[in-house]
A and B are shown apart, each in its own frame.
Chain A
Amino acid sequence: QVQLVQSGAEVKKPGASVKVSCKASGYTFTTFDIHWVRQATGQGLEWMGWMNANNGDTGYAQKFQGRVSMTRSTYISTAYMELSSLRSEDTAVYYCVRVVRETGWFDPWGRGTLVTVSS
């Protein structure tokens, strides 16, 4: 079945960077986009950006421009999201999600990766 498996929880200090991975299986990786959405504890969903898994094109939410980078390795069907200059407000669960191109059909979602930013 279609599955996105994310890397484990991370604890980072303010100012550091974090790189979260998302391994896809059960479908042809390059035929869908991968988006990233985060959720702080007890809060709502926040869209971060998207990546075309075929050609690597990306688009980022304005809030994260200059601080986020979304990449992939088609050889191992894995997407990555790197967020730099971390601050405490970045503490959240980060989800990767497969998206049918040019739609808001986000399905399925990974289980999420908790990133904690603390000194």
Chain B
Amino acid sequence: QAVLTQPSSLSASPGASASLTCTLRSGINVGTYRIYWYQQKPGSPPQFLLWYKSDSDKYQGSGVPSRLSGSKDASANAGILLISGLQSEDEADYYCMIWHNSAWVFGGGTKLTVL
């Protein structure tokens, strides 16, 4: 079982909200991790969006709009990237990442389609 699992795709309408999940493998407690989020558009390198561990330990990247935010769902053992007021420019691949067992581990990525 992968350390981080992301749904491979998600579709949402312009103006709506999208909740991208990053589920940690059973036995790895989401509460103890900072979860980092990256956005990648076709033909470009990834870009840092934000990290979230708790409301007192979070950071938004420079220029990242406030309609993107991080949170956690402890009951699902998952990190969440919430994008509200979806715009066409949000269409991209999104990756989560954590530091686990002395290595940076990426989720498989979610392709977000805005249609």
Tell me the total A-B contact number using a CB cutoff of 8 A: 56
Which of B34, B36, B103 has the most C-beta atoms of chain A within 10 angstroms of its own C-beta?
A: B103
Min CB distance, A40 to chain B, in Å?
12
Please state if A44 and B38 are interface contacts (CB–CB under 8 Å).
no
Give complex CA distance A24, B102 in Å: 26
Give complex CA distance A110, B34 in Å: 24
Please state if B36 and A59 are interface contacts (CB–CB under 8 Å).
no
B contact patch SS? strand
Which B45-83 residues have a C-beta within 8 angstroms of A?
45-48, 51, 59, 61
Q: Could you say which residues of chain A place their CB within 8 Å of the CB of B107? A: 44
B residues whose Cβ falls under 8 Å from a Cβ of A: 34, 36, 38, 40, 45-48, 51, 59, 61, 95, 97-99, 102-109
